[in-house]
Amino acid sequence: MRIGSSTGGIYSSAYKKNESSMEKVLKQLSTFQRVNNASDDAASLAISQKLQAQINGYNKGAENAAVGQNLLYTAGGGVESIESDLQRIRELAVGASNDTLTSNDKAAIQVEIDQLVQNIDDTVANTTFNEQALLDGTFTGKTVGTNSDGNGLTINLPDLSSEALGIQDFDVTGEFSIDDIDNALSTID
């Protein structure tokens, strides 16, 4: 009596099992991850995916923070220009407070002040970021999602127009107060 055995089948089964294990190990090595799919370790995969989502959120938050920083740099440039104009208006107003000046002298000073006030309003109108006005008082309550959950910093930028600063009709040819300019400067600080 002869007992039939199929050693080829046994070797084939062992080979396939070995090949499958080898593929798994190679995949782990090539991806630098111990867990690549649920069959490797379902619990670890779930944790890994959760952590990866948090990492992605932090990365996006960092990108958003950089955009927010650029926005603030843009607004800061506008504020510096307005502050410079206000400093010049104050300097001119101090000069115009000298009673030795004629009305023509004060009128000439007023021409420059009017130009500076217009420059302030032009700066307010033209200081934008991503087509959004920054210094006209409409950029308030805006959130920059810097956290992994989308929350972050809230930005409120003031209205720095000549009207809001109280200098729209500042005129050194008549009665005026330098306090008006000082108040406008304190709004910016």
Query: Strand 128-129 relative to strand 142-144: parallel, antiparallel, unpaired?
Result: unpaired
Q: pLDDT (tens digit, 0 to 9) for every residue of the chain, 189 residues total?
A: 455 455 555 555 555 666 666 666 666 656 656 555 555 566 776 777 788 888 888 888 888 889 989 999 999 999 999 999 999 999 999 999 999 999 999 999 999 999 999 999 999 999 999 999 999 999 999 988 887 777 888 999 999 999 999 999 999 999 999 999 999 999 998
What is the structure's pLDDT at 58? 82
Give residue for tokens 């995969």. Answer: 45
**How many Cβ atoms sit within 10 Å of the Cβ of residue 113?**
24
128 SS3 class: strand
The amino acid at residue 106 is K
Are 187 and 120 in contact by the 8 Å Cβ rule? The answer is no
What is the structure's pLDDT at 54? 80
What is the structure's pLDDT at 16? 61
Q: Name every residue whose Cβ is closer than 8 Å to that of residue 150 and which is 6 or more positions away in sequence.
A: 57
- Identify each DSSP E strand in 49-180 by its residue range: 128-129, 132-133, 142-144, 153-155
